[in-house]
Structure 1
Amino acid sequence: MVEHTDDGNANPFSQVPIEITISVGKARPLVKDLLKLQNDSILPLDRNVEDPVELYVGDKLIARGELQEMEGGQAGQLAVRLTEVADLKNGL
């Protein structure tokens, strides 16, 4: 039997990776405009650059944050700085 601890080491599921989807916005083009898309087309989103992004596991919203660029050896790579995290333990 596995004991429950807060460090996560006793639970074998604590080492299973999950995929988090970052939503930066949605586009709602008309079908006629969608059919015209090609390389270099611009598809406007419903959000501004400074608006928060949303983090999902499956269809469950788990957090919000701000996009930022990594520094140092990872310069140019995107990252998210969390600004709001859901209370997953209490289902809120």
Structure 2
Amino acid sequence: LKRHKISHVKERAYKCNFCDKSFKCFAYLQSHTQNHTGEKHHNCDMCEKKFKYPALLKKHQQIKHSAERPFRCDLCEKGYFTETDLKVHKMN
């Protein structure tokens, strides 16, 4: 609901100090600013990798640290987390 209310705000009061972009919400500005500063606040607790966004951390943990591999090669039985990775494997 909070995000929906923000979508109706016309004024973009939060301006980036690095470029000409402006935002309706301070959190959006903070997220955008990371593109300029290279900050990565989301750390993997299983390895040393750091990520800008929680979604990227979650995907990393699923792919690198999970045993789940639902897409299996019918020739060698090697498993992959995504169907795209399996397709790349089959092309090579």
Q: TM-score, normalised by structure 2?
A: 0.22
Structure number with greater CO (CA < 8 Å, separation at least 6) is 1
Return the structure number with greater strand share. 1
TM-score under structure 1 normalisation? 0.22
